[in-house]
């Protein structure tokens, strides 16, 4: 529990640091862009809205990128191009503002920088704003693994229980009994993605169905997994469970999500079987 709390606090501190960095960078860039609004003869209070059109578009673009993370690549490329154009415009306007003020400044005893250095340093604020945005996207897509649960796998290695089942099947059977294993057709593979619990008829054909034990599972995390939306054919979905945890600011590994999915689906199957037995008893 202490390791989990420390991990959550570390993640929240990182997100807070990114948020503060974005706020300070936005404030510095906002001041320069507002003065540029005055220079291009925008009148009155509208000069305060001019920076929002440029730097504010970056924030809107980030929200669009997060919403379109599962969209086709060309849609995400279009949004990235818009965000990049807004970032480059902010950098260019900040540099022009600093260079022109540097050219108009009077010579004195203080530190005097050339125009190239002044323009380069002025670009730090919009660059920091864009960098903070990029860091947030990276953290959102790659959350830290849950220290209290099993380590997440990248899909390149098969978990040990599945590997043992595969070895028993390919060796000809379980406990000396031969198993008639048929390859699934293309339609069956397409209709059953690997992140959705298998249907009841597929489970019934298994030689030794292994029901997960809920004893070593955190009841609060199991309850949160139960609230996740169902996947195809009304089955428990690992991907939906992961999204539910991350929307709540929690981290979860791939193996833990698979285990919670199996537990939730086992509970649903037991409830359906109990309901069928009740209906049969009433009919008899």
Q: How many CA atoms lie within 13 A of 248 on its CB side?
A: 15
Q: What's the pLDDT score for residue 151?
A: 45
Distance, in Å, from the CA atom of 265 to the CA atom of 259, rounded to the nearest integer, reads: 10
Report which DSSP code applies to 273: H
Distance, in Å, from the CA atom of 158 to the CA atom of 151, rounded to the nearest integer, reads: 13
Report which DSSP code applies to 207: S
Q: At what angle do helices 238-247 and 219-226 cross, to 10 degrees?
A: 110
Average pLDDT on 118-147 reads 77
Q: What's the pLDDT score for residue 96?
A: 92
pTM over 0.75: no
Highest-scoring range by mean pLDDT, 2-11, 128-137, 154-163, 197-206: 128-137
Distance, in Å, from the CA atom of 77 to the CA atom of 75, rounded to the nearest integer, reads: 5
Judged by DSSP in three states, 184 sits in coil
Q: Which residues contact 38 (CB under 8 A, 6 or more apart)?
A: 47
Distance, in Å, from the CA atom of 61 to the CA atom of 59, rounded to the nearest integer, reads: 5
Q: Tell me the pLDDT tens digit for each residue of 83-122.
A: 889 889 999 999 999 998 888 876 666 777 888 898 899 8
């Amino acid at each position: 529990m202490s390791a989990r709390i420390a991990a959550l606090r570390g993640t929240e501190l990182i997100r807070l640091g990114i948020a503060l960095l974005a706020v300070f960078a936005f404030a510095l860039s906002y001041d320069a862009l507002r003065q540029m609004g005055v220079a291009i003869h925008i009148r009155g209070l509208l000069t305060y809205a001019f920076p929002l059109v440029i730097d504010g578009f970056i924030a809107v673009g980030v929200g669009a990128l997060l919403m379109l993370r599962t969209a086709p690549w060309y849609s995400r490329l279009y949004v990235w191009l818009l965000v990049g154009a807004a970032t480059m415009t902010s950098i260019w306007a900040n540099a022009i503002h600093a260079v022109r003020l540097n050219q108009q400044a009077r010579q004195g005893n203080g530190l005097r920088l050339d125009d190239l250095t002044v323009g380069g340093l002025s670009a730090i604020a919009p660059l920091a704003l864009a960098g903070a945005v990029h860091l947030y996207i990276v953290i959102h897509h790659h959350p830290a693994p849950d220290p209290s649960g099993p380590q997440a796998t990248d899909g390149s290695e098969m978990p040990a229980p599945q590997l043992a089942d595969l070895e028993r099947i390919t060796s000809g059977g379980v406990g000396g009994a031969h198993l008639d294993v048929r390859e699934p057709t293309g339609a069956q593979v397409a209709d059953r993605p690997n992140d959705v619990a298998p249907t009841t008829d597929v489970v019934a054909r298994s030689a030794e169905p292994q029901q997960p034990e809920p004893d070593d599972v955190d009841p609060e995390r199991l309850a949160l997994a139960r609230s996740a939306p169902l996947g195809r054919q009304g089955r428990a979905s690992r991907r939906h469970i992961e999204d539910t945890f991350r929307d709540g600011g929690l981290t979860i590994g791939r193996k833990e999500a698979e285990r919670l999915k199996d537990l939730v689906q086992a509970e649903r199957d037991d409830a359906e079987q109990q309901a069928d037995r009740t209906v049969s008893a009433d009919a008899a």
